[in-house]
Structure 1
Amino acid sequence: MIRASGVVASIPSHPLMILFLQVGVLLLLAMVLGRLAVRCGMPPVAGELTAGVILGPSLLAHVAPGAGHWLFPQEPEQMHLLDSIGQFGIILMLGFTGMHLDLKLLRRKGARAARISAAGLVLPLALGIWLGFLLPAKLRAPGADGTVFALFVGVAMCVSAVPVIARTLLDMQLIHRDVGQMIVIAGTVDDAVGWLLVSLIAAMGTTGLHTGDVVLALARMALLLLFTATIGRAVVGMAMRRAARASAPGLATVTAVLLIILSAAGAGALEFEPVFGAFLCGIVIKTAKDVDTRALAPLNTTVMTVLAPLFFATAGLRMDLTALFDPKIALWGLAVFALAVFGKFLGAFVGGLTSRMTRWESLALGAGMNARGVIEVIIAMVGVRIGLLRVEMYSIVVLVAVLTSLMAPPLLRLAMNRVELTAEEAMRKTRVFAAHDTADGVRDAADGGAPADLPEPSGPILHS
């Protein structure tokens, strides 16, 4: 006789109450500081991260340790509840990032973009790996493989952040310029390759760095990409088209969420980062025929104004800036920042010069592609999750992401003031910002902007 299993107990009332308070306090402070950051000319992610820093071990745990430990108890079960909400938001955000990629523009200017993105990717990657081997062992988590750690540092230093770049270019009215387009295209390529490398390194961090495991990870990656480009593309396109034709309201939104989550789960089953699967699914949704991704704008607004800020505030909770008071740690942090900026700037600058762009245009390329923003924050969280980074190194990587994003606008303005506006760019500006003005209400609600597929915005609005 088979006995029925007992009903699994629900979450106790106290942890549930703490979770609700955590979400409410983090979201409120992230919203206030995010808007304050925008008013100060900074990306909202800077304010959202600061919300977590204020409420975490950097400040609240020192100023009011009793309140800090009560609201954010350092218990894995409680923190995992909060993390799960943030992870859900970031999975959807990476799906929208994939939908944001402009593959048509990439194909039109592919040769030049390939040269620029390769230079802007390879040099900081190599310098980052070299620095990763030099960094002291106390910056990596106990038991973490030194080679995998160095590879991870290299990838963290070579990425750009298309959402930050796009929003910056829109705000500065540079998205219509040839240089602006090239920054977005080259940054898009760098991000795509970066996520590929992050997933491979995450797999190595899980299984170890052995020749057989590396070959197996590469084979699984090839299988995932092949499946995505063939069967996955057909299934996603069919599902989205049927949802779009159905009379049920919101069915396209539910279908997109379902596809993104299942893709994330599939990537996780192959021992890759779930965010990589979500990113690939977003690209496939964007390329599906007869599918208008602008119908997903309401969901995108919810993700970018609620779930994504909550994720970044949670990421700020993991930072401990007091660790940087140690002079040795601070010097290593300064070295990471300096090498990250130097590598990306020099790589993009050389790529621009070899692509027959002027010195000032090449400088603008370096300034734009140097912004890491949300992408590097997500990568830092991945490093913590797979057991590579200690809190000191995690804090350094996140600070690099924020500081490089803050550097981009003034340097772009300095360089672009010396680049002459062409007649074609002037005509393009009229079309781009006429289309942009019609979408201002939605863009303001989401505090972000997509790099318009000149002359029209194509795809969902992205968080910056």
Structure 2
Amino acid sequence: MGDHRNRGKWYRQKELLYYIAILAAGAVVVGLLSQWPDSHATPSGTLSLGEAFGVFTNLLGEQVTSTFGLLLLQVIVILVFARFVAWIFTKMGQPSVIGEILAGIILGPSVVGWLWPEGFHFLFPEESLHNISLLSQFGLILFMFVIGMELNLEEIRKQLRSSFVIAHSGIIIPFVLGALLALLLYESYGGKEATVLTFSLFVGISLSVTAFPVLARIIQEQGKMQSRLGILSMASAANGDITAWCLLAVIMAIAQAGSALSALFTVLFAGLYMAIMLGVIRPFFGMIGATYQTKEVAGKGVIALVFTTLLISAYVTEILGLHALFGAFIAGVVMPDNLKFRHMLTEKIEDVSLSIFLPLFFVASGLSTEIGLLNSPMHWWITGLITLVAILGKIGGTYSACRVVGENRQDSLYMGILMNTRGLMELVILSMGLELGIISPVIYAMLVIMTLVTTFMTTPVINLTNKLWARRTSKVERQHFHILFSFARSKMGLTMLRIVESLFAQPEEKVELVGLHLTVGSDTSKSDAELYRAQNFAPIQSHADASGYAVEEYYEVTDDPLHSIAKATRVKGTDLLLVGAGLELSSNPEDRAMMERHLKFGRRFSRIFSQTVNFFNLHNLFKDHTEEFVRIPHCAIGVVIDRGLERRAQQIAVLSSGKAQGFEELVERLTPTSGATIRRYKVGEVTLEEIKAHYDLLLIPYELWQELREKEPRVSDRIPTTILLQANKK
């Protein structure tokens, strides 16, 4: 053993000596080279320290203003500022895209260029804008590809008749109103390359579009993705998106060709392109998607094939005069419906596209938006008129169609408000019109403001509508005990199901169950969200089916999990909310290791860490949210500490101090049909070690648990699976 240690010490010393020797040799060679006579060198004197620093600062300035150095600086400023403004808007309950659009306008000539022209021209000199524009266009191609993948053609087929009527009514009515309004605006606001026809058609389509991604995320946030209304809304929006982009392609063809007759050939070739994409490429990728579903199987060859198809499709539509974005969109549509395959692709594309390239596009749009051009009351009156026509046309067209197909007034208005959101899709269309000279910078600014207003109003108006038409279940009609269990991991969801099985032996007569799973991050794509929902609920439903329980799925994408959980308890009329305890109470070795790292880091950098979590809108997994949960006023709360409950509890202990108000009554409501043996104890009659040794499940008041933790912080190691109960009054 001693020889082994000595040998290891010798090898370490030898490595050190070798490293010092090669460093010394390198230094000697450099020294000799520096003294070597050079006939080509310009003679110069020895520089002083100040002169040397001056040379360094000059070099630094040249690198900052170099093409690539300036581009990197622009990207950094854009990403940080866009993230900051998006964070503010998510705190206001708005989609992050609103903040990113506004960030682009602020960084443009409308705000920064007006308040600080020197800084604006340094950061965004005229000659550098082309680079930002190219990067943003490439990012848009990737983004439109993802949007195309989010459209589920099977979903559209299932709701074809209703969604066809709703989508087309929601497009045609605002399109006609917009085109008629454009006739009045053409002389003053038409672009240099515009004709009456192209200007009217373009303004009409600008007022008709719906932002499918924003609509999908609002439906997710409202928890309606699996509801009949949510499915119909998604199908109608998808149908409308395809129609709007096809109309836009025709309008672009007319604008590029110069006349409707000349555009006929473009449309014919575009039809041939669509036939090939849908009739040949889509079945081909359907076969690919059924075979290559995971990263393990799908190598770089499959990904390269997908990207090559995307770029070829974008190139074909670009040279046809339909714009590359249309080709990218269709390339996404023809991708296979297989969720795993789509998730694999979006995982590679979406994060980079949404996080880096799209903010560049927003700033590129903002640099073209000069609010200062609206310098007269008449301009603002026209802006208001355009916004009013857009809102009335979209909501009115959708509402009337919904009523015709048999929807009630509330659902019809709900869908009309959803369809009125425009967001990023509108900006993409407007940038095309400005680039082609169809619209002028003045009406471009007006339409951008309309986009912000119609997108911003969607969430608050939807929430107001929900409050006005709130349907609250009467207590007289309730015959079951309603339990909502919120789980982050399927393993915890299964533990909660076993707890319910332990308490209610006759579920079909006594209890109704709702499983809640949240995905944190409102920018999660629809296809990813659907995959997360399916993956997390699959083991829950499998277990529930085997044990005879019916579990209703409640899935939501959110930036505020606590608010979403509280909202779900109100929507579902919950009697008991089951939630998992924080990471510090977890028995999972990975969770404990994570907590130890967090505590070690937090002692030094807690302030920096908390601010970073807030700024980048990250869900703080390390924070104990139990206090927030127990404050939910209208239902009882059960915080579950999982200690490995693998089957129904056969022995249940109830430990109380007699102080917790409503605890005994709540226990009586929870255990009327339990098949387990239940023993009740007062504090002091039994030790926690005895409970852990003889019982599978412990019910204890939350107040008593707090007292026990104050006396002994590691008390959680001495208990079986436990429910901390708080009997809040409804």
When normalised by structure 2's length, the TM-score is: 0.56
Structure 2: give runs of 5+ residues left out of the alignment.
Answer: 1-62, 491-514, 536-555, 560-730
User: Is 1:447 aligned to residue 523 of structure 2?
Assistant: yes
- Describe how 1:171-190 pairs up with structure 2 within 5 A: 171-190=221-240
**Residue aligned with 1:57, SS:** coil
- The alpha-carbon deviation at position 368 of structure 1 amounts to 0.6
With 372-381 and 293-302 compared, the bigger mean Cα shift is at 293-302
> Which one of the candidate residues 117, 121, 134 is aligned to 1:65?
117
**Residue aligned with 1:325, SS:** coil
With 175-184 and 105-114 compared, the bigger mean Cα shift is at 175-184
- Other-structure match for 1:8: none
- Describe how 1:294-313 pairs up with structure 2 within 5 A: 294-299=343-348, 300-313=350-363
Q: How far apart in 2 are the matches of 1:83 and 1:202?
A: 20
Amino acid corresponding to residue 370 of structure 1 in structure 2: N
Q: How far apart in 2 are the matches of 1:74 and 1:386?
A: 19
Amino acid corresponding to residue 450 of structure 1 in structure 2: K
- Other-structure match for 2:282: 233
- Other-structure match for 1:29: 81
Kept after mapping to 2: 8 A contact 1:132/1:149: yes
Q: How has the CA–CA distance of structure 1 residues 410 and 244 changed in structure 2, closer, same or farther, with 3 Å as cutoff? A: closer
- Other-structure match for 2:265: 216
- The alpha-carbon deviation at position 262 of structure 1 amounts to 2.1
Q: How far apart in 2 are the matches of 1:106 and 1:295?
A: 23
Amino acid corresponding to residue 172 of structure 2 in structure 1: V
- Other-structure match for 2:52: none
Deviations 1:127-170 (A, max 9, x none): 11111111143322223212101101111111111111111121
Kept after mapping to 2: 8 A contact 1:431/1:455: no
Q: How has the CA–CA distance of structure 1 residues 13 and 62 changed in structure 2, closer, same or farther, with 3 Å as cutoff? A: closer
User: Is 1:262 aligned to residue 338 of structure 2?
Assistant: no
- Other-structure match for 2:190: 140
Deviations 1:257-306 (A, max 9, x none): 3322221112112221211111111111134x696211124322221222
- The alpha-carbon deviation at position 103 of structure 1 amounts to 1.8
Number of residue pairs matched? 441
Kept after mapping to 2: 8 A contact 1:450/1:457: no
With 228-237 and 354-363 compared, the bigger mean Cα shift is at 228-237
Q: How far apart in 2 are the matches of 1:375 and 1:462?
A: 21
Amino acid corresponding to residue 167 of structure 2 in structure 1: S
Deviations 1:408-438 (A, max 9, x none): 1222233344265999xxx9x9999999976
Structure 1: give runs of 5+ residues left out of the alignment.
Answer: 1-10
Q: How far apart in 2 are the matches of 1:110 and 1:65?
A: 53
Kept after mapping to 1: 8 A contact 2:221/2:558: no
- The alpha-carbon deviation at position 253 of structure 1 amounts to 4.1
Deviations 1:29-72 (A, max 9, x none): 11111122111111112211222212211012121212211221
Kept after mapping to 2: 8 A contact 1:344/1:369: yes
- Other-structure match for 1:286: 336
Q: How has the CA–CA distance of structure 1 residues 12 and 431 changed in structure 2, closer, same or farther, with 3 Å as cutoff? A: closer
Q: How far apart in 2 are the matches of 1:411 and 1:125?
A: 23
Kept after mapping to 2: 8 A contact 1:163/1:463: no
Kept after mapping to 1: 8 A contact 2:486/2:517: no
User: Is 1:98 aligned to residue 177 of structure 2?
Assistant: no
- The alpha-carbon deviation at position 236 of structure 1 amounts to 4.1
**Residue aligned with 1:286, SS:** coil
- The alpha-carbon deviation at position 447 of structure 1 amounts to 2.7
> Which one of the candidate residues 158, 179, 192 is aligned to 2:242?
192
> Which one of the candidate residues 209, 219, 222 is aligned to 1:169?
219
> Which one of the candidate residues 14, 20, 29 is aligned to 2:72?
20
Q: How far apart in 2 are the matches of 1:409 and 1:103?
A: 27
Deviations 1:372-419 (A, max 9, x none): 111111111111122212221112222222211111122223334426
**Residue aligned with 1:22, SS:** helix
Amino acid corresponding to residue 92 of structure 2 in structure 1: C
User: Is 1:347 aligned to residue 397 of structure 2?
Assistant: yes
- Other-structure match for 2:199: 149
Q: How far apart in 1 are the matches of 2:485 and 2:306?
A: 33
Root mean square deviation, CA, Å: 3.3
- The alpha-carbon deviation at position 23 of structure 1 amounts to 1.6
Q: How has the CA–CA distance of structure 1 residues 432 and 272 changed in structure 2, closer, same or farther, with 3 Å as cutoff? A: farther
Kept after mapping to 1: 8 A contact 2:339/2:531: no
Amino acid corresponding to residue 347 of structure 2 in structure 1: P
**Residue aligned with 1:144, SS:** coil
Kept after mapping to 2: 8 A contact 1:102/1:453: no
Deviations 1:197-236 (A, max 9, x none): 111111211121242x132232122112111112322454
Q: How has the CA–CA distance of structure 1 residues 43 and 198 changed in structure 2, closer, same or farther, with 3 Å as cutoff? A: same
**Residue aligned with 1:292, SS:** helix
**Residue aligned with 1:440, SS:** strand
- The alpha-carbon deviation at position 175 of structure 1 amounts to 2.5
Kept after mapping to 1: 8 A contact 2:517/2:533: no
Kept after mapping to 2: 8 A contact 1:156/1:376: yes
- Other-structure match for 1:113: 163
- The alpha-carbon deviation at position 177 of structure 1 amounts to 3.1
Amino acid corresponding to residue 22 of structure 1 in structure 2: Q
Amino acid corresponding to residue 56 of structure 1 in structure 2: G
